Structure 1
Amino acid sequence: MKPSIADSAVKAMLEREAKLYVQRNPKSQALSAEASAHWLRGVPMQWMVDWGLPFPLFVDEAKGINLKDADGHSYLDFCLGDTGAMFGHSPKPVADCLAREGAHGLTTMLPSPDATKVGALLADRFGLPFWQVTATASDANRAVIRWSRAITGRQKILVFNHCYHGCVDETFVTADGGKVIMDPSLVGEPRDLSAFTKVVEFNDVPALEKALRVGDVACVLAEPVMTNVGMVLPAPGFLETLRTLTKETGTILVMDETHTLTSSVGGYSRSIGLKPDALVFGKPIAGGIPAGLYGFSAETAARVHTYMGQRGEGRSGIGTTLSGSRIQVALIRTVLEEFMTDPVFEALITLARRLERGVADVIIKHSLPWHVTRVGARVEFMCVPTPPKNGYEASQVIHKPIDEAVHRYLLNRGVVITPFHNMMLVCPSTTGEDVTKLIETFEACVSELLN
Structure 2
Amino acid sequence: MARAAIGDAWVALLCDAGPFMIDRQAISDMREREVARFIAANPKSKAQAEKAQGWFQGVPFHWMLDWPTPFPIVAQAASGATLTSIDGQVFDDFCLGDTASMFGHSPAPLAKAIAEQAGQGLSYMLPTAKGTELGNMLADMFGLPQWQVTTTASEANRAVIRWCRAMTGRDKILVFNGCYHGAVDDVFVDLREGRAVNRPSLIGQVQGLLPTTVTIEFNDVDALTTALRGGDIACVLAEPLMTNIGMVRDAPGFLTELRQLCDQTGTILVLDETHSISSGYGGHSNTHGPKPDILVVGKSIGGGVPCAVYGFTAEIAERMAAVNASRPPGHSGIGTTLSANALAITAMHAMLGQVITRDAYAHMLSITDRLVAQLNAVIAAHRLDWHVSHVGARVELVCSATPPRNGSEARAVMDHELESSIHLYLANRGILLAPFHNMMLVSPVTQAAQVDRLVAELNNALTELLAFENSGGRK
TM interval, shorter chain, is over 0.9
Deviation digits for residues 8-35 of structure 1, max 9, x if unmatched?
Answer: 0001111111111111111111100111
Alignment partner for residue 199 of structure 2, among 183, 197, 200?
Answer: 183
In 2, the alpha carbon distance for the partners of 1:273 and 1:374 equals 17
In 2, the alpha carbon distance for the partners of 1:345 and 1:48 equals 29
Map of 1:359 onto structure 2: 375
In 1, the alpha carbon distance for the partners of 2:291 and 2:71 equals 45
Alignment partner for residue 336 of structure 1, among 352, 359, 366?
Answer: 352
Map of 1:240 onto structure 2: 256
Do residues 249 (structure 1) and 259 (structure 2) align?
A: no
Alignment partner for residue 17 of structure 1, among 34, 42, 48?
Answer: 34
Map of 2:410 onto structure 1: 394
Point out the more displaced range, 269-278 or 43-52.
269-278
User: What secondary structure does 1:145 align onto?
Assistant: helix
Map of 1:315 onto structure 2: 331
Report deviation, 1:351: 0.4
Do residues 306 (structure 1) and 284 (structure 2) align?
A: no
Map of 2:70 onto structure 1: 54
User: Which amino acid in 2 is paired with 1:93?
Assistant: P
Deviation digits for residues 277-309 of structure 1, max 9, x if unmatched?
Answer: 100010010111000111111111100001111
User: What secondary structure does 1:220 align onto?
Assistant: strand
Alignment partner for residue 275 of structure 2, among 241, 246, 259?
Answer: 259
Map of 2:243 onto structure 1: 227
Alignment partner for residue 200 of structure 1, among 216, 220, 229?
Answer: 216
Alignment partner for residue 288 of structure 1, among 304, 312, 326?
Answer: 304
In 1, the alpha carbon distance for the partners of 2:364 and 2:163 equals 35
In 2, the alpha carbon distance for the partners of 1:311 and 1:229 equals 39
Deviation digits for residues 179-235 of structure 1, max 9, x if unmatched?
Answer: 111001110010101111000000000000101111111110000010011111000
Map of 2:3 onto structure 1: none
TM-score, normalization by structure 1: 0.99
Deviation digits for residues 217-264 of structure 1, max 9, x if unmatched?
Answer: 111000001001111100011001000001111111000000001111
User: What secondary structure does 2:295 align onto?
Assistant: strand
Aligned pair count reads 450
In 2, the alpha carbon distance for the partners of 1:267 and 1:308 equals 29
Report deviation, 1:376: 0.6
Report deviation, 1:165: 0.4
In 1, the alpha carbon distance for the partners of 2:283 and 2:106 equals 22
Deviation digits for residues 80-104 of structure 1, max 9, x if unmatched?
Answer: 0011100111111111111122111
Report deviation, 1:74: 1.2
Map of 2:46 onto structure 1: 29
Deviation digits for residues 90-119 of structure 1, max 9, x if unmatched?
Answer: 111111111122111111000010111111
Map of 2:341 onto structure 1: 325
Map of 2:6 onto structure 1: none
In 2, the alpha carbon distance for the partners of 1:273 and 1:258 equals 16
User: What secondary structure does 1:194 align onto?
Assistant: coil
User: Which amino acid in 2 is paired with 1:350?
Assistant: S
User: What secondary structure does 2:389 align onto?
Assistant: strand
User: What secondary structure does 1:262 align onto?
Assistant: helix
Alignment partner for residue 102 of structure 1, among 100, 118, 131?
Answer: 118
In 1, the alpha carbon distance for the partners of 2:357 and 2:106 equals 18
In 1, the alpha carbon distance for the partners of 2:73 and 2:105 equals 17
Contact 2:103/2:356 (8 A) holds in 1: no
User: Which amino acid in 2 is paired with 1:98?
Assistant: I
Contact 2:372/2:388 (8 A) holds in 1: yes
In 1, the alpha carbon distance for the partners of 2:173 and 2:355 equals 33
Do residues 347 (structure 1) and 363 (structure 2) align?
A: yes
In 2, the alpha carbon distance for the partners of 1:204 and 1:339 equals 37
User: Which amino acid in 2 is paired with 1:142?
Assistant: R
Contact 2:172/2:232 (8 A) holds in 1: yes
Report deviation, 1:340: 2.4
Unmatched tracts of structure 2, length 5 or more: 1-17, 468-475
In 2, the alpha carbon distance for the partners of 1:433 and 1:340 equals 23
User: What secondary structure does 1:175 align onto?
Assistant: strand
Alignment partner for residue 78 of structure 1, among 94, 119, 139?
Answer: 94
Do residues 403 (structure 1) and 419 (structure 2) align?
A: yes
Deviation digits for residues 22-50 of structure 1, max 9, x if unmatched?
Answer: 11111111100111x11011101100000
Alignment partner for residue 136 of structure 1, among 152, 156, 164?
Answer: 152
In 2, the alpha carbon distance for the partners of 1:186 and 1:4 equals 35
In 2, the alpha carbon distance for the partners of 1:163 and 1:72 equals 37
Map of 2:25 onto structure 1: 8
Deviation digits for residues 38-66 of structure 1, max 9, x if unmatched?
Answer: 10111011000001221111111111111
User: What secondary structure does 2:214 align onto?
Assistant: strand
Unmatched tracts of structure 1, length 5 or more: none
Contact 2:109/2:355 (8 A) holds in 1: no
Contact 2:376/2:388 (8 A) holds in 1: yes
User: What secondary structure does 1:174 align onto?
Assistant: strand
In 2, the alpha carbon distance for the partners of 1:314 and 1:66 equals 46
In 1, the alpha carbon distance for the partners of 2:185 and 2:115 equals 37
User: What secondary structure does 1:335 align onto?
Assistant: helix
In 1, the alpha carbon distance for the partners of 2:437 and 2:321 equals 41
Alignment partner for residue 375 of structure 1, among 385, 388, 391?
Answer: 391
The alignment's C-alpha RMSD in Å is 0.8
Report deviation, 1:314: 2.3
Map of 1:112 onto structure 2: 128
In 1, the alpha carbon distance for the partners of 2:30 and 2:168 equals 54
User: What secondary structure does 1:192 align onto?
Assistant: coil
TM-score, normalization by structure 2: 0.94
Report deviation, 1:176: 2.1
Report deviation, 1:175: 0.9
Point out the more displaced range, 403-412 or 67-76.
67-76
User: What secondary structure does 2:192 align onto?
Assistant: coil
Point out the more displaced range, 436-445 or 330-339.
330-339
In 2, the alpha carbon distance for the partners of 1:166 and 1:96 equals 30
Report deviation, 1:273: 3.0
In 2, the alpha carbon distance for the partners of 1:68 and 1:308 equals 48
